[in-house]
Chains A and B, each alone.
Chain A
């Protein structure tokens, strides 16, 4: 006897109610990290509504440049049209639904469907229908059959976000206070950031929420997961180095941590960026408080709900080198309850000196990305968690999300938006992420 649909719906609802009830006690059932019904609901309620990161403007610099990206399972063409405007179009011919664009990137003034030859300008406009007169007579109104743009698309400082929900708020409203913190990374110079090359893409057998949870607030794991890097002096010699920072919930489930030098250790200010960049940010940041906050940052990690993460850290590219700052953006694209496709971009200031760009790039490739010595060990954890959450015991298995709940108090003097806690060994951000997730899943967001 198998479970009826009704049984399954009940089970998922029960699980979600349980999450909602228990999160304020810092308890989360492990099952949410590997359940096919939770996943199906996420497709609809999270990925059908939230803003999802697609890519950076610098990846499509010239008119006609395009890249093919995803919003969960939805395939979209992100293209800069001939007038320079960026558009995000559903990669689906209006005639019989074939993918009109099958490369991952390129340059095209038009997209032509291989099935019946319907041809669209890179604005999405349908301009060519083979045998139009003979087959359609005067009936086909081309204006009504162009490639469909995604319901919402907005760009923040070169970061292209899209939502499948026509009723979604503006991106600025959605990001809320998180923009103040994104600015620390995007507004260091007037010319801003550029992506180098193309993103790393790889698939891991882990649930997408685990890396999102890790990047939103987990500084604690560095002492064990990344201990090998500490041993090799790629990260500060103090295994607990990541504790000494500020843990900020920026609202709407977005969160980040900004870590400074451990006591007794001196680290260069502003992540150790070169002089040119440090001078620039003092002019370029909108607010003086941002300069003061950035001055003390050596390691920044964060997640924009649901699955876009940022890591901007000063680490060494090998055991003989001094640390260098590097910046990576992530999308944890959900593929299945136990499968995630990782997209990992390396970015650097457009007008940073060449020697710095080269060093920062090397630092990124050796430490993070597909083969990164830090990143490798993270995947191990996330795969393992997903594995053991597959069975039945995970349903009643409460995970401890209670760090700091009993004693860690907000810092009322914190100059930025959101709730700031004076220790990055904290889990306020992780709890806030789960709460936000719950609201979307129960249709209460």
Chain B
């Protein structure tokens, strides 16, 4: 990748893998620490359009459209005794690939694209849900550590094939 050193590539890849591990392990407080305070986390709705239309994504509506406070709210909710959707917890597994990195708009930022396959099961049902998406992230170096400043999740479905999104991409 042009303009990205081996070292930065390794650091960014390690960050993404660690971040995914935290989500799959349910370490949500640690995951919140991976975010900048001005984090924007968006999963726009997608609708099928004819070929040639500029984009299938609907900017005005998101399945998720979050800032730090709302993500914190989601974590706090899981810490109450009443988060039934995740009690018992879903089992998730984030599979990342196709990591592509570019310099960001600022010296302390990089733009990262990755492909995500998110596997999910609940209870004793062997049926699994598989969600596929491309993620467009902006990582920012804060006090020597990479943090997630922006995530745009471009889903490969228009009708979501899981019963809710109580899990994160």
Contact flag A103-B49 (CB < 8 Å), given A196-B60, A379-B85: yes
Which of A7-15, A288-296, A367-375 binds B? A367-375
- A381 surroundings in chain B (CB, below 8 A): 84
In the assembled complex, how far is the CB of residue A194 from the closest CB belonging to chain B, in whole angstroms? 11
Check: B102 CB closer than 8 A to any chain A CB. Answer: no
For the complex, would chain B's binding face be called helix, strand, loop or mixed by DSSP majority?
A: mixed
A interface residues, tally (CB under 8 Å): 47
In the assembled complex, how far is the CB of residue B45 from the closest CB belonging to chain A, in whole angstroms? 5
Contact of B73 among A106, A197, A232, A383 (CB under 8 A): A232
CB contact list, A165-223 vs B, under 8 A: 196-206
In angstroms, Cα B165 to Cα A226, docked, is: 16
In the assembled complex, how far is the CB of residue B63 from the closest CB belonging to chain A, in whole angstroms? 4
Q: Contact between B49 and A105 (Cβ–Cβ < 8 Å)?
A: yes
In the assembled complex, how far is the CB of residue A77 from the closest CB belonging to chain B, in whole angstroms? 13
B82-98 Cβ-contact flags toward A at 8 Å (1 or 0): 11111000000000000
How many residue pairs link A and B with beta carbons under 8 A? The number is 129
- A375 surroundings in chain B (CB, below 8 A): 164
Q: Contact between A365 and B164 (Cβ–Cβ < 8 Å)?
A: no
Contact flag A370-B80 (CB < 8 Å), given A196-B61, A198-B45, A318-B70: no
Contact flag A341-B159 (CB < 8 Å), given A103-B49, A375-B164: yes
Check: A229 CB closer than 8 A to any chain B CB. Answer: yes
Check: A109 CB closer than 8 A to any chain B CB. Answer: no
Contact of B85 among A196, A317, A361, A380 (CB under 8 A): A380
Q: Contact between A201 and B160 (Cβ–Cβ < 8 Å)?
A: yes
In the assembled complex, how far is the CB of residue B134 from the closest CB belonging to chain A, in whole angstroms? 18
Q: Contact between A228 and B61 (Cβ–Cβ < 8 Å)?
A: no
Check: A75 CB closer than 8 A to any chain B CB. Answer: no
- B66 surroundings in chain A (CB, below 8 A): 366
Q: Contact between A377 and B83 (Cβ–Cβ < 8 Å)?
A: yes
Given contacts A228-B80, A371-B43, 8 further A-B contacts (CB under 8 A): A103-B49, A196-B61, A224-B82, A318-B72, A319-B69, A371-B63, A371-B166, A376-B83
B residues sitting closer than 8 Å to A (CB atoms) are: 43, 45, 47-50, 53, 58-66, 69-70, 72-74, 76-77, 80, 82-86, 158-166
A–B Cβ pairs within 8 angstroms, 27 of them: A103-B47, A103-B49, A104-B48, A197-B59, A198-B45, A198-B58, A200-B45, A201-B158, A202-B163, A204-B163, A227-B82, A228-B80, A232-B73, A232-B77, A318-B73, A319-B76, A321-B69, A341-B159, A361-B65, A369-B63, A370-B160, A370-B165, A371-B43, A371-B64, A376-B83, A379-B163, A380-B85
